[in-house]
Amino acid sequence: MLIKMLKYQKRQHLNSSFCCVPSCSVSGKFNSSVSFHQFPKDESVRAIWVRNIRRDKFVIRRHTTVCSRHFMPEDVVEGGRRRLKPRAIPVLFAWNNYNLPVTRPSVWQRTQRQEEEEEDEDEGEVPINASVALCHDYDSRPEPAFMDLAYEKIHAQQQVIIELQRRLEEVSLGQKFGLERYKTSDEDIRFYTRFASYRHFNAFWLHQVEPVSRRIVRVGQSSSTTVPDETADPPRRPNRCLPLIDELFLFLVYLSLGLKERDLADRFNVHQSTVSRTIRTWANFLYTVLGAVGIWMSPDAVRAMMPDVFEKYSDTQVIVDCTELKCQTPSSLLLQSEMYSQYKSHTTVKGMIGVSPHGAVTFVSTLYSGSISDKELFKQSGIIPLLDENMAVMVDKGFSIDDLVPGKVHRPPFLGRNSQLSREDVLATQEIARLRIHVERVIRRIKQNKLFDSIIPLTINGSINQLFAVACLLSNYQNKPLVKAWAK
């Protein structure tokens, strides 16, 4: 008993180190045969240390250490100050009967005594290899019932993981503002893009935009007039903050709702300058793509699509009318006088729209200053060379264009010197007004884009022509026929 009590010799210079392992009484008051090691900084290795030590509510402090008796001998590096090898793990504890003798025996253990040998034989210690074999029964197999229960638990946990992943995707999608979020709701698609449904929008994307999307030229992208070298590597395409279809969605939201660029930047989680470049890029791109599609209809095509209500005016090729958009008042007095409209009592820009009898937009003019007359706008718009001498044009009273068109003009009659219109003139006015109202309905559809519903700022004057033309051309894709009976 004396030998076991004096297993370690006291040191002359004591320190405050002690081992934090339960049932281990080694501290710094014993000789230098035992070293003390702090917990590793690596979180994964530290977690294994804490798990192997088996202490509840264990708090690791600055001076918390584990003595070298709990490590394998090959994990302790001798020579000078003892240290541990990287990722060394304490595995030798009293509860697994794996006690390792200290590297340097104390003075009481240097001489073998007969009493100690006899006492060790009586205790019947289990060899190290035998204790390891008892702890790990590699030949044993779990019962079938236990395996079935384990498989059921694993399957249940997998189902929980799948459900949590699905909920996480729903939450992430709900926080993201983009086409993917609203494609299941045709009402939302109509509100944000003016397309009748997601199916219509997707058809427009697949057949009109995506096939030519590689030709898009972004605003701010440098262009070169030199002949490209065919042997050189193709230029790298610029990285996009948004998918291409979401860029189109952003442009349509801007056109449909008239939101500020800062608001769109916050919704799409991009920079405001990115929103500005995206809007200008897609305005120019769609202006080119949709403008390349021939929307002007030949007389034969117009007759083939002629509604029955135009029976009396079956020679009508196009119905034209003008519309005005209010814009911010410029500082120049000369520009104010040119852009001021007596009809709107505000500075405006004015354009002309031509509609076929069945309601499709077939002509869009450039925007002019608001003071221009309807006749002068008709003359400068470029529609005259497109007219056929055997076909008529239906206009409002403000269009005195009989001397400009090669064919006939259907226009409500003027009162002239008479005190009132004759019965024939009244009937003609009512019939023309009932047919000409369809161009007003098309213009109303175009102005449902809130960008044109408010005063247009001067900052977008450079691209207002493209924006207005794209809005007019998109109306042929976005909306259903003006009258259900006209659908063919």
Would you give the distance in Å from CA 92 to the centre of its chain? 54
Note whether 34 and 26 are within 8 A (CB).
yes
pLDDT tens for each residue of 390-436: 999 999 988 889 899 998 999 888 776 667 878 888 888 888 989 99
What is the Cα–Cα distance from 104 to 270, expressed in whole angstroms? 68
Percent of the chain clearing pLDDT 70 (strictly above): 78
Q: Give strand pairing partners of 165.
A: none
Rounded to the nearest 5°, which phi and psi values hold at 442?
-65, -45
Structure confidence at residue 369 (pLDDT): 93
Which of 448 and 135 is assigned the larger pLDDT?
448
pLDDT band of residue 465 (cuts 50, 70, 90) is very high
Structure confidence at residue 415 (pLDDT): 73
Alpha helical stretches, state H, 37-143? 43-53, 114-123, 128-135
Residue 352 reports pLDDT greater than 90? yes
Structure tokens at 407: 């064919």
Structure confidence at residue 115 (pLDDT): 52
DSSP single-letter state for residue 103: S
pLDDT band of residue 265 (cuts 50, 70, 90) is very high
Other CB atoms within 10 Å distance of the CB of residue 47: 11
Q: pTM value?
A: 0.62
Structure confidence at residue 384 (pLDDT): 93
Angle at 80 between CA 75 and CA 84, to 5 degrees: 20
pLDDT tens for each residue of 282-293: 999 999 999 999
Mean pLDDT of 310-330: 93
Weakest mean pLDDT among 21-25, 325-329, 433-437, 465-469: 21-25
Give the chain's mean pLDDT. 81
pLDDT tens for each residue of 181-210: 888 899 999 999 999 999 999 999 999 999
What is the Cα–Cα distance from 169 to 425, expressed in whole angstroms? 66
Mean pLDDT of 340-363: 93
Residue 135 reports pLDDT greater than 60? no
Residue 157 reports pLDDT greater than 90? no
Structure confidence at residue 130 (pLDDT): 45
pLDDT band of residue 139 (cuts 50, 70, 90) is low
Which of 137 and 245 is assigned the larger pLDDT?
245
